[in-house]
Amino acid sequence: QQPVQSPQAVILREGEDAVINCSSSKALYSVHWYRQKHGEAPVFLMILLKGGEQKGHEKISASFNEKKQQSSLYLTASQLSYSGTYFCGTEFQADYKLSFGAGTTVTVRA
C-alpha cells in the first residue's frame, strides 16, 4: 500500500524552511527518504527505523512518529540545490521491499 505524501508541491525562496510529510495506513518498520532531480536516479537521503534509529545526511533531518505511522522531512535554510522531487519509501516489515509515495516537488528560487 502506497504511502501518502503532502504537500504535492512547494515553492521556496533560498533560506526558507519546509516540511514534507509521509503517512501510512499500515504499521511501518522503516521510512526511507530520497531526492530525485529531473532525469536522474533517486539519491538516498535518510533512513529512519522503528525504535528510533536513523542514518542519513548531516544537513537533512527527519522524524518518525510510530504511533501515527508518519514521517516528516525537514528542509532547513533551503538552498538552490534542494530543488527536486522528494520521495518517501516505506517498509512494513524487515523485508527490504519499499513502497514509494507519489512524491513532493520542491522548487527553491533565488
Partner 1 sequence: GAGVSQTPSNKVTEKGKYVELRCDPISGHTALYWYRQSLGQGPEFLIYFQGTGAADDSGLPNDRFFAVRPEGSVSTLKIQRTERGDSAVYLCASSSTGTGYNEQFFGPGTRLTVL
Cα-based angle 50, 55, 56 (whole degrees, multiple of 5)? 130
Q: Answer yes or no whether residue 59 interacts with partner 1 by CB under 8 A.
A: no
Q: Answer yes or no whether residue 84 interacts with partner 1 by CB under 8 A.
A: no
Q: How far is the CB of 54 from partner 1 (least distance, A)?
A: 9
Give me the residues paired with residue 87 across strands.
Answer: 34
Identify which of residues 16 and 100 has a Cβ nearer to partner 1 in the complex: 100
Identify which of residues 30 and 78 has a Cβ nearer to partner 1 in the complex: 30
Sheet holding 70-75, edge to edge: 4-6, 18-23, 70-75, 61-65
Please, which of residues 26-55 interact with partner 1 by CB under 8 A? 30, 32, 34, 40-44, 47, 49, 55
* Cell numbers representing residue 90 in the block: 516505506
Q: Answer yes or no whether residue 72 interacts with partner 1 by CB under 8 A.
A: no
Identify which of residues 27 and 94 has a Cβ nearer to partner 1 in the complex: 94
Q: Answer yes or no whether residue 83 interacts with partner 1 by CB under 8 A.
A: no
Q: How far is the CB of 87 from partner 1 (least distance, A)?
A: 5
Share in percent of the chain as helix, strand, coil (round to 5): 5, 55, 45
The torsion angle over the Cα atoms of residues 109, 60, 105 and 78, rounded to 10 degrees, is: -10
